[in-house]
């Protein structure tokens, strides 16, 4: 993620995007903790960050969510089954997507951002 912006309005947008990423990554971590091997998300950024963490872990050390990304990758490596990630469209009426977003948001806000 980019450096924190200098202006108040840009900072608010940066914080919102950071919170959204944290929520999605927390949801993915929770799914992995519960041994799910097929995980769908509407957040392409989270999938990209996980991929970067898998391929270039040293480059991700300064990432805002590096601890959470490391936790996710550790669970992927430890899984006896292959983990499949799917990118889905947001707000397209797929049952469970809004519930998953709400659950991820709740977990990120109330569990310190970790599953």
Q: How do the domains of the chain map onto residue ranges?
A: 9-108
Backbone torsions φ then ψ of 65, nearest 5 degrees: -110, 35
CATH assignment of 9-108, among 3.40.30.10, 3.40.50.12780, 3.30.420.10, 3.90.1110.10? 3.30.420.10
Measure the CA–CA gap between 89 and 111, rounded to whole angstroms.
27
Confidence at residue 71, expressed as pLDDT on a 0 to 100 scale: 96
Confidence at residue 108, expressed as pLDDT on a 0 to 100 scale: 62
Confidence at residue 20, expressed as pLDDT on a 0 to 100 scale: 72
Low-confidence spans in the chain with pLDDT less than 50: 1, 11-14, 114-115
- How far from chain centre, in Å, is Cα 41? 9
């Amino acid at each position: 993620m980019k450096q924190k912006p200098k202006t108040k309005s840009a900072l608010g947008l940066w914080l919102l995007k950071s919170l959204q990423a944290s929520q999605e990554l927390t949801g993915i971590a929770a799914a992995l903790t519960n041994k799910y091997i097929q995980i769908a998300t509407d957040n392409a950024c989270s999938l990209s960050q996980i991929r970067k963490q898998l391929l270039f872990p040293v480059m991700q050390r300064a990432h805002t969510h590096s601890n959470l990304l490391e936790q996710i990758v550790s669970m992927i490596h430890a899984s006896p089954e292959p983990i499949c990630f799917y990118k889905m469209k947001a707000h397209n009426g797929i049952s469970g997507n809004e519930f998953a977003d709400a659950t991820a948001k709740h977990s990120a806000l109330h569990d310190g951002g970790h599953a």
